[in-house]
Amino acid sequence: MLQSKGIILTIIIACQLLVVLDASVMVTSIPEIGRSLHMSTVNLTWVQNSYILAFGGFLLLGARAGDLLGRRRLLGAGIGLFTLTSLLAGLAPTAVVLLVSRAFQGFAAALATPAALALLSATFTEEKERSRAIAMYSAVAGAGGGIGLLLGGFFTDFISWRVGMFINVPIGIVLMYLVRRYVTESETKTGRFDLGGALTSVVGMSGLVYGFVQAAGQGWGSPGTWIWLGIGVASLTAFVLVEKRAGQPIVPLRLFASRQRSGAYLGRFLLVGGNFSLFFFIPQYLQNALGFGSLEAGLAFLPFTMAQFGMMFVMQSLVRRYGNRILLIVGLLLAVVGTLWMSRTIAAQTAYFPQMFFLMAIMGIGSGLIFQPLTALGLSNVDARDAGAASGLINVAHQSGASLGLAILVTVFNASFQAGQGSGQPFAHAVSHSLLGSAVFQASALAASLLLLMPARALAQKPVG
């Protein structure tokens, strides 16, 4: 399937970096985007959510399409569409054009990402090399967010926020060439698309997220809030029923028969629900409350990014010594403690250095311990026929957790902002409560991991690597 494993790994990592950067490069630009395109704080959440909702919503369909049409074809098509829509987003003259372009970027990412992760699973079959490849993939998935914040801040301060979209174009062109040159087509399968499953999953997640965004903007008393939440719940219920009866489902429910894989998917969903919001709220706090510029806000995440990326170089030896489960629990504990402490620090409007600086590093170490184990556990013991669906589920858990977590915590932010109007520092008050919500998500991920991944008999088993 490949001519050079090194080049294949480079393609996989570059594709993942492109996708992750795109989710974060706009974050430090959000205040400037709001000013230039006249968008409110609630509407600005759609700069992120239009991308990650489409991404998460169509991932399962993208994974199935890769099985039926060929992963090389889907990888090339996804990167090509991503490149084109990045150009359109950078040129967007209005908020509507930007949000539509971001949604199509998410759809393109949903085509490319499952194909890239399935390519990793199929290419690196030996345990040691797969562990190394997953470590690098996970490091990029985690640290790429911090790199995006830094690049976005630099471009916003010195050129324009639009450049954050334009840089995808040359990278995408190079990747399309490499895919065409070095990746051979996977064996395709006969079958059909599960359009019913795809439709109900997209409508379900979109309904839930839009319902929470409506709650943030219109309040819980708005009929629209409950209508959209009802549509979301009903559609996701229908999704499960459709998948149970479908001959060729986009989510084979047998994947959830493994307690370990189910725990990895749920843990990832909850963790990212809390973590992604950190990257949304903290940069705005730094800019709006402490007076940081966009680049300064990006630089403020360097302790987090460097600590998380640095963990990549020691993860293999740690996994061999302690196993994925133990590292996951330790990482989650660090994440919860760091986020709780950060929420108290922001409530007191403490200066960035030294307290926030060192908390960023602690949170980065925790994050660096988490994502490789979650990825490895989510792919463990998966049949070859389900490789695409399993990789799709990992990314669905990631993206749907990000979109739903942000939507929920934006409602917390708005309610806290209104309640804190008399405090003299309502913005810091609201961000503090939002980070407290992030810690609740992380603590829930810890509880799920302890319940599903750490039964007494599992501790005696050979570590999953």
Q: What is the DSSP string of 15-51?
A: HHHHHHHHHHTTGGGHHHHHHHHT--HHHHHHHHHHH
User: 246: phi > 0 → left, psi -120 to 50 → alpha, else beta; which?
Assistant: beta
State which residues form the domain around 223: 195-247
| 117 part of a folded domain | yes
The percent of residues above 70 in pLDDT, for the chain, comes to 93
CA distances to 138, 243, 351, 360, 388 from 20, in Å: 11, 29, 29, 19, 20
Same domain for 233 and 349, yes or no, is no
Q: Specify the pLDDT at position 142.
A: 64
Is the model's pLDDT at 459 over the cut of 50?
no
Nearest to 269 by CA among 38, 13, 449: 449
Q: How many domains does the chain have?
A: 2
Q: Specify the pLDDT at position 32.
A: 87
At residue 266 the predicted structure's pLDDT band, cuts being 50, 70 and 90, is: very high
CB 366 within 8 A of CB 341: no
Q: How many CB atoms lie within 10 A of CB 182?
A: 16
Nearest to 158 by CA among 300, 3, 29, 7: 29
Is the model's pLDDT at 15 over the cut of 50?
yes
pLDDT in tens, 67-86: 778 878 889 999 999 999 99
CA distances to 21, 237, 344, 422, 450 from 409, in Å: 22, 24, 17, 21, 24
Find the range with the poorest average confidence among 21-25, 135-139, 145-149, 228-232.
Answer: 135-139
Residue showing tokens 């399993």: 390
Same domain for 255 and 235, yes or no, is no
CA 330 to chain centre: 21
At residue 27 the predicted structure's pLDDT band, cuts being 50, 70 and 90, is: confident
Q: Specify the pLDDT at position 9.
A: 87
Q: Which of 223, 247, 271 is the last residue of a domain?
A: 247
Same domain for 238 and 286, yes or no, is no
What does the alpha-carbon distance between residue 7 and residue 350 come to, in Å, rounded to a whole number? 46
| 446 part of a folded domain | yes
Find the range with the poorest average confidence among 179-193, 198-212, 249-263.
Answer: 179-193
Same domain for 241 and 254, yes or no, is no
| 21 part of a folded domain | yes
| 114 part of a folded domain | yes
Is the model's pLDDT at 190 over the cut of 70?
no
For residue 128 the two structure tokens come to 């040691």
User: Is pLDDT larger for residue 193 or for residue 83?
Assistant: 83
Same domain for 94 and 234, yes or no, is no
Find the range with the poorest average confidence among 186-195, 277-286, 344-353.
Answer: 186-195
Same domain for 342 and 428, yes or no, is yes
What does the alpha-carbon distance between residue 214 and residue 220 come to, in Å, rounded to a whole number? 8
CB 40 within 8 A of CB 34: yes
Q: Specify the pLDDT at position 327.
A: 94
Same domain for 103 and 168, yes or no, is yes
Same domain for 38 and 148, yes or no, is yes
Is the model's pLDDT at 57 over the cut of 80?
no
H or E segment at 169?
helix 168-182
Find the range with the poorest average confidence among 57-61, 178-182, 400-404, 429-433.
Answer: 57-61
Average pLDDT over residues 289-317: 87
Collapse the DSSP code of 183 into the 3-class scheme (helix H, G, I; strand E, B; otherwise coil) and give the result: strand
| 189 part of a folded domain | no
Which range has the top average pLDDT, 37-46, 120-129, 170-179, 208-217?
170-179
Q: Across the chain, what does the average pLDDT equal?
A: 85
At residue 265 the predicted structure's pLDDT band, cuts being 50, 70 and 90, is: very high
Q: Specify the pLDDT at position 456.
A: 45
pLDDT in tens, 304-342: 988 988 887 888 889 889 998 999 999 999 999 999 999
Q: How many CB atoms lie within 10 A of CB 167?
A: 17
- We report the CATH number of the domain holding residue 252 as 1.20.1250.20
Q: Specify the pLDDT at position 424.
A: 64
The percent of residues above 90 in pLDDT, for the chain, comes to 31
At residue 443 the predicted structure's pLDDT band, cuts being 50, 70 and 90, is: very high
Q: What backbone torsions phi and psi does residue 178 show, to the nearest 5 degrees?
A: -65, -40
Same domain for 160 and 278, yes or no, is yes
Same domain for 217 and 341, yes or no, is no
At residue 455 the predicted structure's pLDDT band, cuts being 50, 70 and 90, is: low
Q: Specify the pLDDT at position 388.
A: 67
User: Is pLDDT larger for residue 30 or for residue 229?
Assistant: 229
What does the alpha-carbon distance between residue 61 and residue 197 come to, in Å, rounded to a whole number? 8
Which range has the top average pLDDT, 46-60, 218-232, 322-336?
322-336
Q: Specify the pLDDT at position 208.
A: 86
Q: Which of 247, 266, 283 is the last residue of a domain?
A: 247
| 190 part of a folded domain | no
CA distances to 146, 261, 281, 305 from 364, in Å: 10, 24, 16, 6
Same domain for 240 and 170, yes or no, is no
At residue 463 the predicted structure's pLDDT band, cuts being 50, 70 and 90, is: very low
Q: Specify the pLDDT at position 20.
A: 80
**Cβ-proximal residues to 426 (8 Å cutoff; 6+ apart), any chain:** 416, 417, 418, 420
| 432 part of a folded domain | yes
Same domain for 140 and 237, yes or no, is no
pLDDT in tens, 352-392: 989 899 999 999 999 889 988 888 888 877 776 777 677 77
| 464 part of a folded domain | no
Q: Specify the pLDDT at position 457.
A: 47
Find the range with the poorest average confidence among 57-66, 92-101, 314-323, 384-393.
Answer: 384-393
Find the range with the poorest average confidence among 220-234, 248-262, 375-389, 396-410.
Answer: 375-389
Give the chain's end-to-end CA distance (angstroms, integer): 23
Nearest to 240 by CA among 250, 230, 231: 250
